Amino acid sequence: MTAISFEFFPPKTDEQRDGLERTVRALKPRMPEYVSMTFGAGGSTLSYTVDAVRNLHGAHGLDAAPHLSCMGGTREEIRALLDDYRALGVHRIVALRGDLPSGMASFGDFRYASDLVAFIRAETGAHFHIEVACYPEVHPQAEDAQADLVHFKRKVDAGANGAITQYFYNADGYFRFVDAARRLGVDAPIVPGVMPIANFSQLKRFSEMCGAEIPRWLSRRLGAFGDDVDAIREFSADVVAALCRQLVAGGAPGLHFYTLNRAKPTEAILERL
C-alpha cells in the first residue's frame, strides 16, 4: 500500500479551526503516515502552528510534522522551538528555508535549509525524522537546474531523511529529477507533492509564485470550464488521480497531498485510486 500524507495550514479564526477539524476528521480514516503543518513567512503564524500540532498529535493521535523555517529565526528561538516540539512528542520536522517576509531586510541566523537541517541534527541527534523540499521543475530562484540539484544534495548530506517535492503535473519531470538526484548520490526517498485542483484561479496564482508549471493543455481545458465548479472538480480529480497512478507505478515512495485545509478535492482523488 502506498504511503500517503497530508499538509494543512494553521487556522487563525474559530471558523478556520472548525473547518480544519472537519477536514482532519474526514481524512483521518485514510490512515496517513503523517500530517504536516505549515506556517507563514518568518514564522508569522508560528503560535498557531504549535497549537495546531498539539491538537493533531494530542486530540487526533496523528504523527504531526511542523514546518520549521530558518527565515527570521535565531538559534535560540529555533532551539527553544525544537525543545517544545520534543516535549509534545513530535518526532518529525519539515525543514525549509522559507520566504523572507515582506519588509524584513535580513535573514535570521540561518540562510539556507541545509544550515537549518545541520543545526537540528547537532541539537537533537536522531530524534527527528527530517523532511526537506525539492523542486522537479527547478526552484524559481535557482541559478540553473544543476545548481538546484546541488543545493538539494546539501540538505540531504546535512542530515535530511527524505524530501517532498513542489507540486507538478508532469510525471516525466519528476522521474527525470529523481534519476538526476540519484546520479548525484542522493539516496533519500523523494515523495511527490500532489496539489488537488479546486480553484483554477487560485492554482494559477500559486504556480506563478512557486514556479510550478501548469501544462498548456491542462490550463486550456480548465479555462474552458469557466465558473462550472463541479465540472472543474470532476475533471481535475480524474487528471490528478491519473498522475498519481503514473507516479506510484513508476516507483514513487508515497504521495503528499497539499490539502489547503479542504477534504473534498483530496478525497475525490483518493476515491479514484
Q: Would you give per-residue pLDDT tens digits along the chain (273 residues)?
A: 899 999 999 998 999 999 999 999 999 999 999 999 997 544 555 678 889 999 999 999 999 999 998 875 789 989 999 999 999 999 999 999 876 555 454 567 888 899 999 999 999 999 999 999 999 998 888 888 899 999 999 999 999 999 999 999 999 999 999 999 999 999 999 999 999 998 898 999 999 888 899 999 999 999 999 888 899 999 999 999 999 999 999 999 999 999 999 999 999 999 999
**Domain 3-272 classification at class level:** alpha beta
Asked if 186 and 156 touch (Cβ cutoff 8 Å), the reply is yes
The backbone torsions φ and ψ at residue 80, rounded to the nearest 5 degrees and listed phi first, read -65, -40
How far is it, in rounded angstroms, from Cα 88 to Cα 249?
Answer: 37
Residue 103: left if φ>0, alpha if ψ -120 to 50, beta else—which one? left
Q: What does the DSSP assignment read for 66-87?
A: EEEE-TT--HHHHHHHHHHHHH
Among 6, 15, 55, CA closest to 193? 6
How far is it, in rounded angstroms, from Cα 118 to Cα 88?
Answer: 22
How far is it, in rounded angstroms, from Cα 222 to Cα 196?
Answer: 13
Instruction: Kindly name the residue from 7, 131, 137, 267 that is annotated as catalytic.
Output: 7
- The verdict on whether 271 is a catalytic residue reads no
What are the distances in angstroms from CA 199 to CA 203, 223, 238?
6, 11, 15
